Amino acid sequence: MRAKSVPPEATQPETTLSDTEFIRYSRSLMLADDGDSRQLRLKHARVLILGVGGLGCPVATTLVGAGVGQLTLIDSDKVELSNLPRQSLYQTGDIGKAKAEVAAARLRLQNPHPRLTVLQCRPDDQQLRQAIADCDVLVDCSDNLPTRLQLNRLAREAGKPLFAGAVSGTSAQLYLLNSQTACYQCLVDPNWQALQNCRTLGVDPALAAVTAQQLAWLLLQYLQATPAQQASAVPVGHANSVPFGHYGRFAASHSQIGFHWYPLHANPSCACCGAGADAAQKGAL
């Protein structure tokens, strides 16, 4: 594993925006009366993105552009030719290079203010726990079920919110989870072993971008909210709300294009958050 932290070019007081930041984020600051406070909350936000591929690239680009203060990027892959149609942080000359490191370098050029940390590895539980401990919000942009279940389990263990996106073929889903909701494993058939991802089903590059931007929009709503707003339960569709405990499924018809949201139902016997977890814990004692 290689871990490196890229320091910001200049250290700014934590409680204020610099003159440069006021100019950089001026269009965002106009959007609300408390624009300065919202921007400062973004500056203090610490986000972990697991997977810097078709979803992770545009999500990271939007968060860094918006002024999120700290981003941890985790990916074990190297850039491949087949990544380039949708993984916008990479160029042809990057083929064979470590994704997370290239992504951090490009993001650094985009905005020098955020602190970027890179884990160029497939993390074990201990490595991922350490990374999670240094973040407030977790984003699953991975492309395989074991990694999704690992992050879900450790997010639940740490009590931190998990925003998860998935795109394969021509379908896309988003999952908004926290310690009060069903978890990702509640939704998974334990016998399901099929390899279904973009390597086997293909992926629509525009759909990956649409899904990533919906995910980034929800993340920014959450990160700019006050702690009280983050903790409050809000209904789906409420302005500026993040519908935790719901999943979104992309659908396109003659009358509507976008994500349709549905409630998630916890599995009482879930091995992560339900009776299955209790039984496993008792068995370990």
Residue 271 lies near Zn ion (rule: CB under 5 A): no
Binding segment toward Zn ion, per CB under 5 A, in 28-36, 37-45, 160-168, 182-190: 182-190
Cβ-Cβ contacts under 8 Å for 284 (sequence gap 6 or more): none
Active-site residue flag, 198: yes
Of 186 and 215, nearer to Zn ion (C-beta) is: 186
Cα 32 to Cα 35, 225, 228: the distances in Å are: 5, 12, 18
Choose, from 135, 186, 198, 272, the residue flagged as catalytic: 198
Asked whether 100 and 72 are in contact (CB, 8 A), the reply is no
Residue 264 lies near Zn ion (rule: CB under 5 A): no
- Of residues 47, 162, 208, 270, which one binds Zn ion by CB under 5 A? 270
Of 80 and 278, nearer to Zn ion (C-beta) is: 278
Backbone angle region of 277, left / alpha / beta, with phi > 0 → left and psi within -120 to 50 → alpha: alpha
Residue 167 lies near Zn ion (rule: CB under 5 A): no
Q: Residue 64, SS3?
A: helix
Of 223 and 270, nearer to Zn ion (C-beta) is: 270
Residue 272 lies near Zn ion (rule: CB under 5 A): yes
Calpha distance 173→190 (Å, rounded): 19
- Of residues 47, 151, 186, 225, which one binds Zn ion by CB under 5 A? 186
Residue 273 lies near Zn ion (rule: CB under 5 A): yes
| Structure letter (DSSP) for residue 258 | E
Residue 177 lies near Zn ion (rule: CB under 5 A): no
> Which pair of tokens denotes residue 134?
């240094």
Helix (H), strand (E) counts: the chain: 11, 9
Calpha distance 237→34 (Å, rounded): 22
Of 239 and 284, nearer to Zn ion (C-beta) is: 284
Cβ of residue 270: shortest distance to Zn ion, in angstroms?
Answer: 3
Residues in touch with Zn ion (CB under 5 A) = 183, 185-186, 270, 272-273
Catalytically active residues are 198
